[in-house]
Amino acid sequence: MPSRRDTLRGLGALGAGGVAATAGCLGVVDGSLAGATAGTNAEADWPTPRYDTRRTAYSPDAVAPREGATVSWRVDVDHPRPPVIADGTVVVSSYPTGVVALDADSGERRWRYGPGEYPAFGAPTVADGVVYAPSTDGMAALDLTSGTELWRGPPGTPEAAPIVADEGRTLFGGGGDGHLYQLDPATGEVTWETDLFGRITTLAAKIDVFAGTRGGEVYAFDGRFDPTEAWRLRLGGPVEGVVAHDNGPTVSVFGGPTSILTDGAGTGEVFRTVDGDRAASRPVVVGSWVVSAGYDAISTTRSYDGRRGWRLNGRFDRCAPVAAGDTLYVGDADGVHAFALAGGVGVGGYRFGAKRWSKPIGAVRGLAVGAGSLVATVTRDHGYEVVALDPADTGSTDEN
């Protein structure tokens, strides 16, 4: 009998169906999202919250549920942070459990790391076989396979997942006291630090490194080995997320709006905004397109000229959306919903062919796509869970 992983590989090959040369890519990114195709990689990782150091929340070639979903497994984990997925392992930080590693195929626990009586860890990042987990007591570097502690660094803040930048040569973490640290990923040695005068809530990097704070400020730093502040900008509320992309950073504040900033000539200025009714959480960024979810609609906006793409009416502000291949995933108080990334067809906020499926798994807190599954952290009547959803035709036993 073929394994789950073999079945998922087969689904990826079928999804390619004559378009393997462009699978997971966007043929006309700047014109529309219609060029998005199904992913083919059943072993794709989601190694950090929002997928990559840029925080785009888009995995272009990951196999994921498209036409329907079935529950592969579900595991109780107290108060889980958004999951990450690397090398066939789902890693989740929680309170008061600590950091937990689960087998991506079965949900079986591989290890748990939780020093102290009530360890409080934020969402981790995985790079080169090492889990970097921020904590109020100090960032922990853990071996992905065994959970063995490799080193402990300076105190962190549970909101800000660390980023590994410059091809793995530098690690950035945010302190609860407002300190931004640059560390050696191998040893945890602090190689640079600065005070941002506010609790750090999010980090992102492309070439510049961006940091957002609870006080509503966004900072940009040039360079990697000896960063220097390029600019800072105060926005209208606590910063929830920053996406670093070619047309300037996109910044989300609590409750909206989402602001698209300029990032040239050493300045950071608001170039365009997407109101909270369409952008009340961190967006997905696909090429030049910002895909946002709010309390009134899902919508798309082209970052460099503000052109509006498709819009679908409905309340989708429960948690930040994610995307893989040609499918967008959003969560609400009942479960997770899948939409065509291209938005189907229609006029205004009314669309046909946009909705693909819905799955009632509980109130969704966080999402990730990897190892052939859509993995969600959810709240149910009896507590908290991590749930893995496979494509509906993998033969998994659905147990809702």
42 sits in which H/E element:
none
Q: How confident is the model at residue 27 (pLDDT cuts 50, 70, 90)?
A: very low
Q: CA-CA distance, 364 to 332, in Å (whole number)?
A: 6
Q: Is the pLDDT of residue 248 over 70?
A: yes
* Bond into 96 cis (ω within 30): yes
Q: How confident is the model at residue 115 (pLDDT cuts 50, 70, 90)?
A: confident
> DSSP per residue over 140-193, as a string?
EEEETTT--EEEE-S---TT---EEETTTTEEEEE-TTSEEEEE-TTT--EEEE
Q: Which domains does the chain have, with CATH numbers?
A: 4-321+336-391 (2.130.10.10)
Q: CA-CA distance, 328 to 320, in Å (whole number)?
A: 11
Task: Share the mean pLDDT of the chain.
Answer: 86
- Residue found by looking up tokens 């014109």 in the block: 31
> DSSP per residue over 281-303, as a string?
SPPEEETTEEEEE-SSEEEEEET
Q: How confident is the model at residue 28 (pLDDT cuts 50, 70, 90)?
A: very low
Quote the pLDDT of residue 30: 45
Asked if residue 62 lies in contact with residue 24, where contact means CB atoms within 8 angstroms, the answer is yes
374-385: average pLDDT: 94
Residue 88 to residues 4, 64, 106, Cα–Cα distance (Å):
12, 14, 10
Asked if residue 121 lies in contact with residue 98, where contact means CB atoms within 8 angstroms, the answer is yes
Q: What is the pLDDT of residues 190-241, one digit of tens each?
A: 999 999 988 999 999 988 899 999 999 999 998 666 889 999 999 988 999 9
Q: What is the pLDDT of residues 312-326, one digit of tens each?
A: 888 888 889 999 999
Q: Is the pLDDT of residue 270 over 60?
A: yes
Closest C-alpha to 170, from 183, 157, 156: 183
Q: What is the pLDDT of residues 330-348, one digit of tens each?
A: 999 999 999 999 998 877 6
Quote the pLDDT of residue 18: 38
Quote the pLDDT of residue 223: 67
Quote the pLDDT of residue 202: 95
Asked if residue 156 lies in contact with residue 134, where contact means CB atoms within 8 angstroms, the answer is yes
Q: CA-CA distance, 212 to 332, in Å (whole number)?
A: 25
Of 25-29, 43-47, 139-143, 308-312, the range with the lowest mean pLDDT is 25-29
Per DSSP, 20 falls in state G
Of 9-13, 248-252, 259-263, the range with the lowest mean pLDDT is 9-13
Q: Taking the alpha carbons of 65, 69, 70, 72 in that order, is the dihedral positive or negative?
A: positive
Task: Find all residues with CB under 8 Å of 52, minimum gap 6, and list them.
Answer: none
Amino acid code (one letter) for 280: A
- Residue found by looking up tokens 């798309």 in the block: 300
User: SS3 of 7, please?
Assistant: helix
274-293: average pLDDT: 81
- % residues pLDDT > 90 (the chain): 57
Q: What is the pLDDT of residues 158-177, one digit of tens each?
A: 789 999 988 888 999 997 78
Q: How confident is the model at residue 265 (pLDDT cuts 50, 70, 90)?
A: low
Quote the pLDDT of residue 244: 92
> How far, rounded to the nearest angstrom, does the alpha carbon of residue 83 sit from its chain's CA centroid?
9
Q: Is the pLDDT of residue 54 over 70?
A: yes
Of 88-92, 151-155, 242-246, 257-261, the range with the lowest mean pLDDT is 257-261
Q: CA-CA distance, 384 to 380, in Å (whole number)?
A: 6
Q: Is the pLDDT of residue 120 over 90?
A: no
Q: How confident is the model at residue 16 (pLDDT cuts 50, 70, 90)?
A: very low
Quote the pLDDT of residue 245: 83
369-383: average pLDDT: 95
Q: How confident is the model at residue 20 (pLDDT cuts 50, 70, 90)?
A: very low
Three-state SS string over 203-271 comes to EEECCCEEEEECCCEEEEEECCCCCEEEEEEECCCCEEEEECCCCCCEEEECCCCEEEECCCCCCCCEE
Quote the pLDDT of residue 396: 54
Q: CA-CA distance, 213 to 86, in Å (whole number)?
A: 28
Higher per-residue pLDDT: 55 or 96: 55
96-109: average pLDDT: 96
Quote the pLDDT of residue 29: 42
